[in-house]
Amino acid sequence: MNKQINAQVDAHELLTTARAALLQHILPSLPDSLRYEARMIANAMQIASRELKLGPEAVQLEQVLLRQLLSDAKIPNPASKDSANDQRALCVAIRNGDYDSAGAMQNALLAALTTITQSKLAISNPRAISPRVNRS
pLDDT at 47: 95
C-beta atoms surrounding 48 within 10 Å: 16
Task: For residue 59, tell me if it sits in a domain.
Answer: yes
Mean pLDDT of 83-109: 92
Q: Quick one: average pLDDT of 51-74? A: 92
Could you tell me the residue range of the domain that residue 93 belongs to?
2-128
In a domain, 47, yes or no: yes
Model confidence at 136, in pLDDT bands (50, 70, 90)? Answer: very low
For residue 98, being part of any structural domain is answered with yes
Radius of gyration of the chain (CA): 20
133 within domain boundaries: no
- Within a domain: 35: yes
Mean pLDDT, rounded, for 113-130: 94
pTM of the model: 0.78
Domain assignment present for 136: no
Residues 6+ apart with CB under 8 A from 3: none
Note the pLDDT of residue 135: 47
- CA dist 37 → 19, 79, 126 (Å): 13, 44, 21
Number of domains observed in the structure of the chain = 1
Q: Which of 14-18, 31-35, 81-85, 91-95 has the lowest mean pLDDT?
A: 81-85
